[in-house]
């Protein structure tokens, strides 16, 4: 056939996270520490809300922006917890997970030749979406600033081609939370810059130390900020696929058009489940966090005992130890660990070139799984 496909689609590669998790079919006895998916069941009340929606034939389309009562619940949740407010009728769109929210925002704002700055290391799902829009990635290296984005370093990267800056806070893959003084410096620098800010705070409810500080709580950023969130991580609802975008009215009308032509609306039973999650099940994340902290502390201490340098994370459920001392590329290290040690982790190079020299371990697994996985990791390291 002479028909061609979009070369940008051809250039897409399977993310490193899936490259390793998908290999597990060939290693049935391996311990999987790759996926960032809570091992807790979806709360029963949330499941009941979805079931009731199906049984009552609430299975059709909703408004393209989502159920108004869900949009109101989204606003009330963030107003009550973080003190910022958006108009549910015109400034909130319910999406098919935070991934669709990110894709929708970038397809709304990006043009050919634009630049997007990403603090690195960072989640591997952003870059392909940005490149598919014809934009260029500019990395902000955080490895020399304690994995915190430096305002001074960021300002030096901003040019007349910069269209947007994306922050992921807390961070996947590092688990780091942007400190309040660092965020204040970033906001002070960004307030007069003509760039969009996309803040993916999907892990905000998995903040372990102190209060999560949101970019959306700074009024000076309001007219150029897109706030991305969802219930996948907070309420163990990854497969329900409910995310949301909050943003300024004058831009959200265009975001809504891009969203509706992509997917019409989010699944209606899932929306009713999310409504329950944000109203009557608001305390679920805190209960999960008690267990996450126990797991994090165990993994952190074990890694230090093995001699792996690592910064203690205060959010999400990932930890990012350095393997640089072994002189092995992270992809090779992870491959060797899987084949010879029986443990699957994610190579740091998956998270931009600035992740080279690290591996990502997810502790969204039971203590029994973590104990066995780290025992195997320790034995593997002893043989290197």
Domain spans of the chain? Answer: 7-42+284-383, 44-279
Determine the average pLDDT of the residues in 240-259: 98
Confidence of residue 8 (pLDDT cuts 50, 70, 90): confident
Give the pair of three-digit tokens for residue 315: 């959010």
Beta-strand runs (E) in the chain: 31-32, 92-95, 115-120, 136-141, 162-168, 196-200, 225-230, 243-246, 318-319, 343-344, 346-347, 359-362
Give the SS3 label for residue 34.
coil
Q: Are 292 and 211 in contact (CB under 8 A)?
A: no
- Give which of 145, 142, 135, 92 is closest to 259, Cα–Cα: 92
- Predicted confidence at residue 46, as pLDDT, reads 98
Percent of the chain that is helix, strand, coil (3-state, to 5): 50, 15, 40
The structure tokens 């591997």 sit at: 124
Residues in the chain: 384
d(CA 223, CA 310): 37
Instruction: Average the pLDDT over 233-249 and give the result.
Output: 98
pLDDT band at residue 18 under the 50/70/90 scheme: low
Residue 20: per-residue pLDDT? 67
Binned at pLDDT 50, 70 and 90, residue 16 comes out as low
pLDDT band at residue 26 using 50, 70 and 90 as cut-offs: confident
Q: How confident is the model at residue 142 (pLDDT cuts 50, 70, 90)?
A: very high
pTM score: 0.95
What CATH architecture does domain 44-279 belong to? Answer: 3-Layer(aba) Sandwich (3.40)
Residue 6 vs residue 172, higher pLDDT: 172
1 pLDDT above the threshold of 90: no
> How sure is the predictor about 281, in pLDDT bands with cuts at 50, 70 and 90?
very high
Distance CA 141, CA 353 (A): 10
CATH of 7-42+284-383, one of 3.30.460.10, 3.10.180.10, 3.90.1150.10, 3.20.20.20: 3.90.1150.10
Supply the pLDDT for residue 340. 96
Place of tokens 């409810």: 205
Mean pLDDT of 357-378: 98
Confidence category of residue 242, pLDDT binned at 50, 70, 90? very high
Lowest pLDDT segment from 3-7, 33-37, 198-202, 294-298: 3-7
Give the mean model confidence (pLDDT) for residues 263-278: 98
Residue 21 has a pLDDT of: 66
What pLDDT was estimated at residue 223? 97
The angle at the Cα of 245, spanning 253 to 274, to the nearest 5 degrees, equals 125
- What pLDDT score was predicted for residue 366? 97
């Amino acid at each position: 056939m002479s028909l061609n496909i979009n070369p940008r689609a051809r250039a897409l590669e399977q993310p490193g996270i899936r490259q390793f998790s998908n290999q597990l079919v060939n290693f049935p006895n391996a311990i999987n520490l790759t996926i960032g998916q809570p091992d807790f069941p979806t709360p029963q009340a949330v499941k009941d809300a979805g079931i009731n929606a199906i049984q009552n034939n609430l299975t059709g389309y909703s408004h393209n922006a989502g159920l108004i009562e869900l949009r109101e619940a989204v606003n009330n949740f963030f107003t009550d917890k973080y003190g910022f407010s958006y108009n549910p009728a015109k400034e909130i769109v319910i999406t098919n997970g935070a991934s669709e929210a990110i894709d929708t925002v970038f397809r709304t704002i990006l043009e050919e030749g634009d630049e997007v700055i990403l603090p690195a290391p960072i989640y591997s799902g952003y870059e392909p979406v940005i490149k598919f829009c014809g934009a260029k990635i500019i990395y902000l290296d955080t490895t020399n600033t304690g994995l915190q984005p430096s305002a001074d370093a960021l300002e030096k990267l901003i040019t007349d081609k910069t269209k947007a800056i994306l922050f992921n806070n807390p961070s996947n893959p590092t688990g780091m939370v942007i400190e309040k003084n660092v965020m204040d410096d970033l906001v002070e620098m960004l307030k007069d810059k003509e760039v969009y800010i996309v803040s993916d705070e999907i892990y905000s409810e998995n903040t372990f130390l102190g209060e999560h500080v949101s970019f959306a709580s700074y009024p000076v950023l309001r007219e150029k900020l897109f706030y991305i969130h969802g219930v996948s991580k907070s309420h163990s609802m990854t497969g329900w696929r409910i995310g949301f975008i909050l943003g300024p009215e004058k831009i959200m009308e265009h975001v809504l058009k891009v969203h509706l032509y992509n997917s019409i609306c989010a699944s209606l039973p899932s929306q009713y489940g999310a409504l329950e999650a944000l109203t009557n099940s608001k305390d679920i994340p805190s209960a999960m966090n008690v267990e996450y902290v126990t797991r994090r502390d165990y993994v952190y201490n074990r890694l230090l005992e093995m001699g792996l340098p690592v910064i203690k994370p205060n959010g999400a459920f990932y930890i990012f130890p350095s393997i640089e001392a072994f002189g092995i590329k992270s992809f090779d290290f992870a491959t060797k660990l899987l084949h010879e040690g029986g443990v699957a982790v994610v190579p740091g190079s998956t998270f931009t070139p600035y992740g080279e020299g690290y591996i990502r371990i997810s502790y969204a697994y039971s203590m029994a799984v973590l104990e066995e996985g780290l025992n195997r990791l320790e034995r593997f390291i002893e043989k290197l």
